[in-house]
Structure 1
Amino acid sequence: MTDQPTQSLTVLFMPESAYGPTNQCIGLGKVLLDRGHTVVFAAERSWEGKLAPLGFVEALVDLAEPDPDASEDAAGQFWIDFIHETAPEFRKPTIEQLSSFIQPTYQALIDGAKYCEPQLRAIIAEHRPDVLVEDNVVTFPALLSSGAPFVRIVSCNPLEIRGDDIAPTFSGYAADDRSGWDAFLAEFDRTHQETWDSFNAWVQEQGTPPLPRRDFVHTSDVANLYVYPEELDYADARPLDGSWHRIDSSVRETDEDYELPESFRERPEGSAIIYLSLGSLGGADIDLLQRLIDALAKTEHRVVVSMGPRADEVRLADNMVGAAIVPQTKVIPQVDLVITHGGNNTTTESLHFGKPMIVLPLFWDQYDNAQRVHETGFGRRLSTYAFTDEELIGAVEELLADTALRDRSARVGAAIRERDGLRRGADIIERVGLEHLAQRG
């Protein structure tokens, strides 16, 4: 595609309210905006005032009855609160989280989809988009019944796209050990079947086809994107049809620049720079974040900390700097190692910039990302709540000393950047919209 197409499109994005999916859509949307298209965000209400300054049209929705007494929320506040309240469940094995976390999360998402369906239909009628893009894990029927083409984005680990020869999504199980796969799937069915049956009936009442088995979201007939580097992908074990397109990374270009403090540039010989982030949601687990900070305080390394939504409760050590939100895509290129919860954005962005990782997963697809990083040799997976300080520091020193890994990561990062997934994704969305305009005449 050219930077300035002959026809201008209206593109509507419907991201899940957390920072990961929304930032993913912001990156693609900004490319389309710069090409002269109108980009509308049907985002959740707490994003008000955060998208318009980037040039997007804010057409916001409520996912539940607004609380007139509530103070002004942070973006994605519903999920920040949800994760904070549910954090004790993350200490359980993944198979036990199916009932205590995964099913309630799906139910909360379904409740939001049902509540906002009339709002979304009104937004679509007002803006009349030429292509609609969803980055979520449940279906919003209005996106499928608008008369314009629908594009699905998977910005979680691509085990979400199920297959017989890959581990079950949410399990964190190894690719080369099938021993627990059947039991995990059986427990998924036991804990989710009733929820799935009810949602499947509702989406059909709204005019959509039936949902695929075990899935709560439809696949597009025209184009589906998933965000994952080729070097981590499962493509050999789970081939996909021609509607699927991998974009190896989708690193937004809207983050502000970040300058390391002088003390980080003039540090002791042998010390490195580490980036620590549990993500916008995982950072709500303040006890875990503080424990990681206290352990890294024992090293000579410098640490940039994404302090999360409870930043005022975090105590940084003298060898650290941080903020509630840091411009991650500008920080990662400047560091030597990333310690992360394994969210898909941070995982793909770290490899995009050629950085090895230590991954301590908390929930959802983070276990799958942690396992994939570990089994492909791009870092280490640690037990999130059972690690010792010595184990964490030992992993840090081991990875920093592994020059072969660092060289390999740098080469892979250069290849990923060359493939330019951000513009590849924007090209596909743009093509779908332009073909739709051409068919309409």
Structure 2
Amino acid sequence: MRVAFLGVRVPGHLNPTTTLARKLQARGHDVVFLSVPDTEPFVRAAQLPYVPFSEKDFPVGSLAKSLDQLNKLKGQEALEMVMRLVSANMESAFRNLPQALQDVKADALVLDESERGLGCVPMHLGMPYVHISNALPIDLAGITPVCTFDWPHETTPEARTRNQAGVRSLLRIYEPILSVARAYAERVGLKIDWSDPYATISPLGWLTQMPREFDFESSHWPPSFHYTGPFHDGLGRIESDFPWDRLTGEPLIYASMGTLQNGLESVFQTIAEAVGTRPGMQLVLSIGPALDPEKISPLPHNCIVVKNAPQMELLKRAALCITHAGLNTALESLTQGVPMVAVPVSIDQPGVAARIAYTKTGKFVPIKELTVPRLAALIDEVLSNPEYRQNAMKMKEAIVRTNGLEKAADLIEQAFHLSPKSEAHPLAAN
């Protein structure tokens, strides 16, 4: 059986998806990775068979143009922009995916839940499929706060009413995506109950890389939903040229605002100033490709500013991570037992930040409330109170105990009735 993975064209989704695909490949299964041309370096770095997808709609360079539009936005404006981009991706995918699956002779499909309406394609084709959530899974039932809000989880009637209002708010923004999916279903004669929030989610498997211990306590998810753990193994990423010789051995604070919304110069400026007030610490600031490092000043005397950092390696040395609260960075921090101070910008980041607070593995400040004194106070609190590090270490133990990557691969084998095979190394892309 050949398993096709359809990649979402941003690093925060590509890295965990390629890692999971490589795990199945290492177990001896036949996998192929479909994604737009801009993502080819990521797929090749993961040593996976790459097939270009939607190349006419998204030629080389289109990702950079999209990110240029997005990386300076925040809040509702950023969320609406993301929804427009996802809608365009899905329009193209509905046109191209059926033929692409036929061309690569795929027998099963792994989809990203962020484009959940694409489940209509394998449903129409009669092809088994599985969903993975690289970002927070979207709770459209309103039992827990929808991930675009930083609300705490509460079970009161008032909280449930608030959550339902949040779902309605998200669905209004989500409408362009849903309309694309509905149009495809109508065109191919597929009967879908669109009142069911999970109508196009795979009944065979919906896997989140979020550990159960990091989520709000709830049991409302459909039977196909499975908590696993981070889809990372430290391999298969594009290398970065980092000046390791400049690390002083002082306690390290690692700061990154991710890959989508890293054009907010004022945020990096605030981080630099807030950390600069603490003696005896070294700051590594990963700012992404959009900004000029020279514009971020004044910097702490021993600060290292880079456009791209080996994040997982640096987190192994870190005392604290300052993050945008992307799920990947949060999970990579917790894998190393590193507490966090989060500055959520948009999309699912408020929901990740709420879970950081819920698990007491860190603190957060909404970006609209970010100031140097507020951030400095949170840094002081997380570094001085051992409870945050202790809780992060407990989360690390849970992640190690679960081994989410192996569990996810097991679940996909079960969903597709793949015979488990022993791992073979090394594997090369063909």
TM-score (normalised: structure 1): 0.83
| Equivalent residue number for residue 40 of structure 1 | 32
What is the Cα deviation at residue 223 of structure 1? 1.1
Deviations 1:317-336 (A, max 9, x none): 43222432222222212211
Does the 8 Å contact 2:136/2:351 carry over to 1? yes
253 and 212 in structure 1: CA distance in 2 versus 1, 3 angstrom threshold: farther
Residues 1:173 and 2:151 are matched in the alignment: yes
CA distance in 2 between counterparts of 1:353 and 1:123 reads 39
Distance 2:417 2:121 in 1: 21
Kindly indicate whether the alpha-carbon contact (under 8 Å) linking 1:225 and 1:245 is maintained by their aligned counterparts in 2.
yes
1:240 paired with 2:221, answer: yes
Pairwise CA distance, 1:216: 9.0
Supply the distance in 1 between the matched residues of 2:274 and 2:19 (Cα, whole angstroms).
34
Equivalent residue, structure 2, for 1:310:
290
CA contact (8 A) 2:71 2:264 kept: yes
Query: Displacement of 1:368 after TM fit?
Result: 0.7
Conserved? CA contact 1:135–1:154, under 8 Å: yes
After superposition, the C-alpha distances for 1:135-156 in whole angstroms (9 at most, x for unaligned) are 1422224344444310001122
Q: Which runs of 5+ in 1 are unaligned?
A: 1-8, 91-96
Pick one of 191, 194, 200 that aligns with 2:182.
200
- Contact 2:242–2:309 (CA<8 Å) still a contact in 1? no
Amino acid at match of 2:192: P
Partner of 1:55: 47
Asked whether the 8 Å contact 1:15–1:136 carries over to 2, the reply is no
Identity between Structure 1 and Structure 2 (%) = 21
Alignment partners' CA distance in 2, 1:378 and 1:258: 30
Give the 5 Å matches for 1:141-156. 141-156=120-135
Query: Contact 2:337 / 2:396 at 8 angstroms: preserved in 1?
Result: yes
User: Which amino acid in 2 is paired with 1:276?
Assistant: A
> How is 1:287-298 mapped onto 2 (pairs within 5 angstroms)?
287-298=266-277
Larger mean CA deviation between 257-266 and 391-400 belongs to 257-266
Q: Return the alpha-carbon distance in structure 1 between the equivalents of residues 46 and 174 of structure 2.
A: 39
* Deviation at residue 404 of structure 1 after TM alignment: 2.8
Size of the aligned set, in residue pairs, is 408
Give the 5 Å matches for 1:11-160: 11-62=3-54, 65=57, 73=61, 76-84=63-71, 87=73, 89-90=74-75, 97=76, 100-138=77-115, 139-140=117-118, 141-158=120-137, 160=138
Q: In the TM superposition, what is the alpha-carbon distance from 1:295 to its structure 2 partner?
A: 3.0
Amino acid at match of 2:50: E
Asked if 1:411 corresponds to 2:389, the answer is no
How much has 1:262 moved relative to structure 2?
4.6
Query: Partners of 1:110 and 1:335 in 2: how far apart?
Result: 38
Pairwise CA distance, 1:357? 0.8
Separation of aligned partners in 2, 1:51 and 1:325:
18
Which residue, 259, 262, 266 being the options, matches 1:283? 262
- Report the CA distance between 1:132 and its aligned residue: 0.9
Deviation, 1:195, is: 5.9
Contact 1:63–1:112 (8 Å) recurs in 2: no
- How far apart, CA to CA, are the structure 1 residues paired with 2:301 and 2:313? 22
C-alpha separation in 1, matches of 2:249 and 2:313: 19
- Residues 330 and 20 of structure 1: is their aligned pair in 2 closer, same or farther, counting only changes over 3 Å? same
Asked if the contact 2:253/2:283 (under 8 Å) is kept, the reply is yes
**CA shift at 1:312, angstroms?**
3.5
* Mapped contact 2:107–2:128 kept (Cα < 8 A): yes
> SS of 2:42's equivalent?
coil
Runs of 4 or more, structure 1, over 6 Å off, are: 257-260
> Displacement of 1:273 after TM fit?
0.8
Give the Cα–Cα distance (whole angstroms) in 2 for the partners of residues 190 and 26 of structure 1. 32
Which ranges of structure 2 fall in alignment gaps of 5 or more residues?
Answer: 421-430
Distance 2:91 2:265 in 1: 32
1:27 CA displacement = 1.3
Query: What is the alpha-carbon distance in structure 2 between the residues aligned to residue 129 and residue 30 of structure 1?
Result: 16
- CA–CA separation in structure 2 for the residues paired with 1:239 and 1:393: 38
Alignment partners' CA distance in 1, 2:312 and 2:193: 35
Amino acid at match of 1:80: L
Partner Cα distance (1:207, 1:55) in 2? 38
CA-atom RMSD in angstroms: 2.9
**Structure 1 residues 368 and 115: alpha-carbon distance in aligned structure 2, compared to 1, 3 A threshold:** same
Q: For residues 392 and 14 of structure 1, do their structure 2 counterparts lie closer, same or farther at Cα, with a shift above 3 Å needed?
A: same
CA pair 413-436 structure 1, distance change in 2 beyond 3 A: closer
What is the distance in 1 between the residues matched to 2:198 and 2:52? Answer: 23
Distance, in Å, in 2 between the alignment partners of 1:262 and 1:186 is 51
Please tell me whether the aligned partners of residues 305 and 320 of structure 1 are also in contact (alpha carbons under 8 angstroms): yes
Change (3 A) 1:53 1:82: same
Task: Check conservation: 1:275, 1:335, Cα contact below 8 A.
Answer: yes
Confirm or deny that 1:338 pairs with 2:321. Answer: yes
Aligned-partner Cα distance in 1 for 2:143–2:243 = 44
Instruction: Determine if contact 2:70/2:81 at 8 Å carries over to the other structure.
Output: no
Give, in angstroms, the shift of residue 124 of structure 1.
0.9
- Taking a change above 3 Å as real, the CA distance of residues 194 and 411 of structure 1, as seen in their structure-2 partners, is closer
How many angstroms apart in 2 are the aligned matches of 1:276 and 1:245?
31
